[in-house]
Amino acid sequence: MLLRMSNLFVRTLREVPADAELPGHRALLRAGYVRPAGSGVHSWLPLGYRVLRNVERIIREEMDAMGAQEVHFPALLPREPYERSGRWDDYGDNLFRLKDRRGNDHLLAPTHEEMFTLLVKDLYGSYRDLPLSIYQIQTKYRDEARPRAGLLRSREFLMKDSYSFDVDDAGLEASYQAHRAAYVRTFDRLRLDYVVVSAMSGAMGGSGSEEFLCPTPVGEDTYVRSPGGYAANAEAVVTPVPEPVPYDDVPEAHVEDTPDTPTIETLVAFANEHFPRPDRAWDAADTLKNVVVMVHHPDGTHEPLVIGVPGDRDVDPRRLAAQLEPSEVAPFTDEDFERDPGLTKGYLGPQVLGKGSATGIRYLVDPRIVEGTRWVTGANEHGHHVFDLVCGRDFTPDGTIEAAEVRDGDPAPDGSGPLELARGIEIGHIFQLGRKYAEALDLQVQDEHGELVTVTMGSYGIGVSRAVAAIAETTVDDLGLCWPRVVAPADVHLVVAGKSDDIVAGAERLTAELVDAGVRVLLDDRSKERPGVKFKDAELIGVPTIVVVGRGLAEGTIEVKDRRTGAREDVALADAVEHLRRLTMTG
């Protein structure tokens, strides 16, 4: 394979595009791998598309190797199957919907659970046909609320999605583990670092689910790990529930005048000044913060919801959103407060909250707020708070919700030690879907006794274009991109560093020999560019081995440079092909 910079459809840019935030994405744009093509969509230029196809090939090989079979569905689908599964509504604004010329409803599929279920129902009818794993590598659509300019969160993206079908839970577990092992091999081959964490299953439904996250500070997901091996997406972290606390000695709740204390900080300071504790100072953890939001349901209705958390913690919007999916969370506006005069902004307290209360507003609390805990909290009157309000005595929440932020040092739910937080990019997601789709779409097979049983399913995704972005973000350096060889657009970036006939002819000859030896070469044969420009471009483009054919040629040597380490060595021209071929083979 040979690409020539003299006619390659690419332009490297010296300027950093203003709207590109992430270093890898900036480098992809500067090196001419991708171009924006609209809000949240982009086009692949030749170098970028080669990387994408390399990633796709490795994913396909590993899916085939585990015995999954490749199929391909349309992206444009009729409404009906998604209506039956509930996802036509549940996906809310995230789903691209359209009508055809006859006025029939269609969608652009975000994933294909329904269609795979129906296809298996169409073809198979017996337990003997199972287990089955089928997959596709396909363009997916999602009308993101906040698409990013890069490849990490696009409205159109390439995804590998596979689905397993089994007669029983043990079969599903085996299919799930087979996919998990295939994902490990895939990401290992892609040279992508990853952690496997417990995950929420979101709008997909289902039970057990894990994510493969690529650790990087630019990742959108936060995850936790403990020394003892617990790992979870922050969205999925379960708070250990404390034991109930005896409260016989707690005095009756009493409302106090606390002027100008609309925040936790002002309240704690005021309490320490005017109502000091005998044992220690008040702190934020003694207060109960009640946060009101508006929840919009897929059916178009909305309702207020109040979340109570210890005052030293914030509500984490992503954890809250994950709990409420497919409903969406919106801020509670001043107009909303006007419509709900029972709620006193800044002084909200549980006495007027809950399904059975005066307001009738649903009230969910952090799992740490157990029976007997005592709190300083709003008295539902401007400038007033209530002290010694005891959970289970003075108020009873409607339930608990995992919405409080997770913090470094929080205990792991399995007792394996303190949690540490980090960020990552979600590159893979594996799910035990269970029977949700099979039930909705009536996928049953006969078991060995001739009885109809509902099939149980798994669903497994890898973001193909997102994997390209994750590799770029985790390998980029100050000079530019820095591809692992297995996905790089070429093995060798050969720079013609000189205009003499000898150098040009020598570079062309070496290139021809390399190509014959199976080495993929990107030849910078531009006659008008200075060597300095070519070197900078080579470093920006990030092919793993840079070869310079220049002045050394007179003494029979070329320079070979490792893009990542920067290590250079002179290699005798006579040995060059074998040397480079060996580099290529060893990755």
Interface positions with its own copies (CB under 8 A): 7-11, 32, 35, 37-39, 41-46, 49, 52, 67, 69-78, 93-94, 96-98, 100-101, 104, 108, 115, 119, 122-124, 132, 134, 139, 141, 143, 145, 155-156
Comparing CB distances to its own copies, the nearer of 147 and 372 is 147
Q: CB nearer to its own copies: give 140 or 436.
A: 140
Q: Which residue number, 77 or 184, has a Cβ lying nearer to its own copies?
A: 77
Closest approach of Cβ 18 to its own copies, in Å? 16
For the chain, how far is it from start to end, CA to CA, in angstroms? Answer: 17
Cβ-based nearer residue to its own copies, 73 or 275: 73
Report which residue type is found at 215.
P
- Beta carbons of 395 and 357 less than 8 angstroms apart: no
Q: Which is nearer to its own copies, 132 or 541 (CB)?
A: 132
Q: Which is nearer to its own copies, 143 or 312 (CB)?
A: 143
DSSP secondary structure code for residue 1 in this structure: -
Closest CB to its own copies among residues 160, 313 = 160
**Running DSSP on this structure, what letter comes out for residue 236?**
G
Nearer CB in complex with its own copies: 157/347: 157
Round to whole Å and give the CA distance between 9 and 11.
7
Q: How far is CA 254 from CA 264, 384, 428, in A?
A: 18, 10, 52
Backbone angles phi and psi of 6, in degrees to 5: -65, -25
Based on CB atoms, which residue is closest to its own copies, 46 or 276? 46
Q: Are 234 and 429 in contact (CB under 8 A)?
A: no
Phi, psi of 50, rounded to the nearest 5 degrees? -65, -40
Q: What dihedral do alpha carbons 195, 201, 206, 210 form, nearest 10°?
A: 0
Residues shown for the chain: 587
Which one, 13 or 181, has the nearer CB to its own copies? Answer: 13
Q: Which is nearer to its own copies, 93 or 570 (CB)?
A: 93
Characterise 206 by phi-psi region: left (phi > 0), alpha (psi -120 to 50), beta (else).
left
CB of 465 to its own copies, least distance (A): 10
Task: Provide the minimum distance between the beta carbon of 274 and its own copies in the complex, in angstroms, as a whole number.
Answer: 49
Report the C-alpha gap between 384 and 11 in whole angstroms. 64
Q: Do 587 and 577 contact (CB within 8 A), yes or no?
A: no
Minimum gap (Å) between residue 25 Cβ and its own copies:
17
Least Å from the CB of residue 155 to its own copies: 7
Q: Which is nearer to its own copies, 43 or 333 (CB)?
A: 43
Is the Cβ of residue 49 or residue 247 nearer to its own copies in the bound state? 49
Closest of 350, 353, 407 to residue 379, by C-alpha: 350
Structure-token pair, residue 73: 């569905």
- Of 91, 112, 87, 212, the C-alpha closest to 470 is 212
Q: Which residue has the tokens 């897929």?
A: 298
Q: Report the residue number, 7 or 301, with the smaller CB distance to its own copies.
A: 7
Closest approach of its own copies to the CB of residue 162, in Å: 12
> What torsion do the CA atoms of 221, 226, 228, 230 make, to the nearest 10 degrees?
-30
For residue 527, the Cα-to-chain-centroid distance in whole angstroms is 44
Pick 134 or 453: Cβ nearer its own copies: 134
- For the chain, the C-alpha Rg in angstroms (whole number) is 30
Q: How far is the CB of 27 from its own copies (least distance, A)?
A: 17
Q: C-beta of 521: minimal distance to its own copies in Å?
A: 15
Handedness of CA 15, 19, 22, 28 (dihedral sign): negative
- Rounded to a whole number of angstroms, the minimum distance from the CB of residue 546 to its own copies is 22
Q: How far apart are CA 421 and CA 509, in angstroms?
A: 53
Dihedral sign, CA of 580, 581, 586, 587? positive
Residue 327 CB, nearest approach to its own copies (Å): 16
In the bound complex, what is the minimum distance in angstroms from residue 386's beta carbon to its own copies? 42
Provide, rounded to whole angstroms, the least separation between the CB of residue 44 and its own copies: 4
Q: Are 141 and 161 in contact (CB under 8 A)?
A: no
Q: Least distance (Å) from its own copies to the CB of residue 522? A: 13
CB of 145 to its own copies, least distance (A): 7
548-557, long-range: CB within 8 Å, 24+ apart, which pairs? Answer: 548/495, 548/497, 549/494, 549/495, 549/496, 549/497, 549/498, 549/503, 549/506, 549/507, 549/510, 550/495, 550/496, 550/497, 550/498, 550/503, 551/497, 551/498, 551/503, 553/498, 553/502, 553/503, 553/506, 554/502
Least distance from its own copies to the Cβ atom of residue 7, Å: 8
H-helix or E-strand spanning residue 421: strand 420-434
